[in-house]
Structure 1
Amino acid sequence: MAQSSRAVVVGGGIGGLAAAVALHRRGWRITVLERARSLEPVGAGISLAPNSLRALDVIGLGDEIRDLAVRQAEGGLRTPGGRWLARTSTAAAVERFGGPLVLLPRATLIDRLAARLPAGSVRTGADTRLTDPGDADHPARVTSPDGELEADLVVAADGIHSAVRRSLFPDHPGPVYSGFTAWRVLLPVPGVNFASHETWGRGRIWGTHPLKDGRVYAYAAAVAPAGERAPDDEKAELVRRYGDWHDPIPAVLAAARPEDVLRHDVHHIAEPLPAFHSGRVALLGDAAHAMPPSLGQGGNQAIEDAIVLAHHGDDLAAYTAARLPRTTAIARQAVRTARLTMMTNRVGMLVRDATIAGLSLAGPALFLRSFDGIADWRPPRQPYASDEAPVGNP
């Protein structure tokens, strides 16, 4: 790609910034247009699996993130009463997938990505509209508060309700409600020591994970009608739903203030898009393949998208060919897993829990099989001749 080529990235989230960094390293001139007034993400953590960490290695950021994150060490899956159904093993994950699973605040990853972009390349408060997707003979065009921009490539990383996606594929049905709502908190919980865990109940789950900076990231999800909200506040709703579950859940709830609790309904793209590109526009992350969080792969797949897109440069058909089948398969697996975790039938739950416990007895490696083909992904062969960063094996 010629040094003068220009890419406009619509959306300053993890996927958009990762794409901007990867393209910048390939010699593209980058402009990132983010609708929000700042890049500060809402309070939440993100789990990065070996696949996305290897992708971050390509842009020289993998080791820095590993140093800033906490390895998700010994923990596992529990029942609301506290019984362990399955234990996780960091050593088994490293042996199977070539690296650990790590956890860190989303804000940390956003900050580190943004720091690798040239000054002035990120514009916030920039509500952006695609006015022309372009083609082989003329550039794409977007309109922002600063006027119209032409681009050799537009990267649409504008999220699950992507306006760019609707413009490119107006007949696509778009995202659907996944059947459950989710809460997140990120806060200090003094005096509490615990093993990282996820707990499955009847149509409800809870997860609690310590972070390297001493805070706790906790999340919950429950089957609920779309749009339902607590009659008082969302902390009170969490207490009603999870207050009698095992430690440390009551302590986390006691430490939270109502304003610490974030809630959002979960949506996903059930019908795959016909392509992840049109003209000179490429869709990335949730704009292309939003999935339930049940595998923890939403952000990971966006990072993969970013690296593969930069690798293929202006060959967007090759980008679609590389990403659409993989993300479609992972999204479908995430939907199946969400149905399992959100199960409400008591007999089905007994069978589910017994099966998980049996698999765990056979060894943690057997339990990790559900991530085969996901966490062991490796990025395309290094495209940079003079990269200082270590890269995962091809």
Structure 2
Amino acid sequence: MSKAVIVGGGIGGLATAIAFIRQGWEVEVLERSARIAEVGAGLSIWPNALRALDELGLGDEVRARAAEEGLAGIRDSKGRWLSRSDVEAVRVRYGSPIMMHRADLLDILRAAVPKSTLRTGISVSEVRSDGTVVHSAGTSTGDVIVGADGIRSVVRRAVVGEIEPRYSGYTAWRVVITPTEPIGDMGETWGSGERFGYAKLADGRVYCFAVANMPAGTPGGGLSELRSRFGTWHDPIPALLAAADESALLKHDLYDLPDLKTFVAGRIALIGDAAHAMTPNLGQGACQALEDAVVLSRVAAKDADLSRYDTLRRPRTQMIVKRSRAIGAVGQLSSPLAVLARNTLMRLAPSSAQFKALAPILDWEV
């Protein structure tokens, strides 16, 4: 029986384990954390990723624990619409995107992987081209080694050497709250060098996120800063911030990866953030990792040469990285004249423009 050793037990790593198991492979997952857990944040799962989850046999279970995402559109800080999403066109053509808590998706994936395949508390130090993985508990060997170990990937060094992630120029806050009053569909608001968004989860809670331009590593930035930045923006943003709990707030600088020359080297393949970490502006980070899992397992099951995986995945994911970075650059404009021009152009653009822009991303089939 062929064996895959997967470094990283996050969403991408577990999905890849499930995909290989469904192809009849033996699987070993090495995770450096003592337990597999996810931070308190929401997650958009677009129709392309739902097709991947259907391929893994988990689509219905995921949908049952998620809320349909209402694609309302984008407003300015006073609540005036800059663009409206053609919700029905997306639903008819591709199916409805959903929103769920990241921890819920991780729970579903973890439950589908036999406990005997998961090894936690294992730190990987080296991956060799012959399929050997050197780690804190010794070594593991496999016919395929999968780097699912994130943007600071150790496995990536064996494929393309040292690659430094790129700082986006802005940081992000995320928090899940219990609202004190009902809210409408998902919304995103663009200001001057700042953005704020919110979406309902299936259990009635609301996932909120915010981004602001600032140097990497800027200290502080708790709820007091969020309320200072966004507390005068349109409803329901002030009420959402008033209901937020400081202990639940997460703050992270946002990075992505420059284009890698390849995702594979011999028996080694990279997936998810290890291959194509992207800013969250398109909500496609986890979605692309799910696609990776399905495609890699199919390629590996048919051929020992993994180059087909690189051919199928690298152009697509690098296109999405570029698009997400470009959207972030537009959303984070801070010059008054640039913001005015951006907002004017967005108001003039037909709703069909956004629908057409999504087509190359959502059109993916297994």
Please report the TM-score for the alignment, with normalisation by the length of structure 1: 0.89
Provide the C-alpha distance between the structure 1 equivalents of 2:158 and 2:295, rounded to a whole number of angstroms: 23
Q: What's 1:34 paired with?
A: 31
Runs of 4+ in 1 over 6 A off after TM superposition: none
Q: What's the CA shift string for 1:203-244, capped at 9, x where partnerless? A: 0100011111111100011110010022xx511121121111
2:6 corresponds to 1:9 = yes
2:292 corresponds to 1:305 = yes
Provide the C-alpha distance between the structure 2 equivalents of 1:212 and 1:41, rounded to a whole number of angstroms: 17
Paired letter, 2:27: I
Unaligned 5+ runs, structure 1: 135-139, 380-394
Paired letter, 1:163: V
CA deviation after TM superposition for structure 1 residue 88, in Å: 2.4
SS in structure 2 at match of 1:163: coil
2:241 corresponds to 1:253 = yes
Q: What's 1:340 paired with?
A: 330
Report if aligned partners of 2:177, 2:206 keep a CA contact under 8 Å in 1. yes
Q: What's 2:139 paired with?
A: 148
Report if aligned partners of 1:5, 1:29 keep a CA contact under 8 Å in 2. yes
Between Structure 1 and Structure 2, how many residues are aligned? 363
Q: What's 2:107 paired with?
A: 111
Q: What's the CA shift string for 1:88-130, capped at 9, x where partnerless? A: 243221223x211111001111111111111221122211223
Unaligned 5+ runs, structure 2: none
1:260-279 equivalences under 5 Å are: 260-270=248-258, 272-279=259-266
SS in structure 1 at match of 2:362: coil
Please report the TM-score for the alignment, with normalisation by the length of structure 2: 0.96
CA deviation after TM superposition for structure 1 residue 74, in Å: 5.2
Which has the larger displacement, 300-309 or 125-134?
125-134
Q: What's 1:78 paired with?
A: 75
Q: What's 1:101 paired with?
A: 97
Paired letter, 2:226: L
Provide the C-alpha distance between the structure 2 equivalents of 1:356 and 1:315, rounded to a whole number of angstroms: 46
1:170-319 equivalences under 5 Å are: 170=161, 172-230=162-220, 234-270=222-258, 272-313=259-300, 314-319=304-309
Q: What's the CA shift string for 1:111-163, capped at 9, x where partnerless? A: 111111112211222112234121xxxxx111233321111111100000111
Provide the C-alpha distance between the structure 1 equivalents of 2:203 and 2:352, rounded to a whole number of angstroms: 29
Report if aligned partners of 2:180, 2:239 keep a CA contact under 8 Å in 1. no
SS in structure 2 at match of 1:142: strand
Report if aligned partners of 2:41, 2:175 keep a CA contact under 8 Å in 1. yes
Provide the C-alpha distance between the structure 2 equivalents of 1:158 and 1:195, rounded to a whole number of angstroms: 34
2:162 corresponds to 1:162 = no
Q: What's 1:121 paired with?
A: 117
CA deviation after TM superposition for structure 1 residue 358, in Å: 1.8
Provide the C-alpha distance between the structure 2 equivalents of 1:41 and 1:229, rounded to a whole number of angstroms: 23
SS in structure 2 at match of 1:164: coil
Report if aligned partners of 2:125, 2:136 keep a CA contact under 8 Å in 1. no
Q: What's 1:391 paired with?
A: none
Report if aligned partners of 1:93, 1:365 keep a CA contact under 8 Å in 2. no
Equivalent residue for 1:48, pick from 45, 49, 53: 45
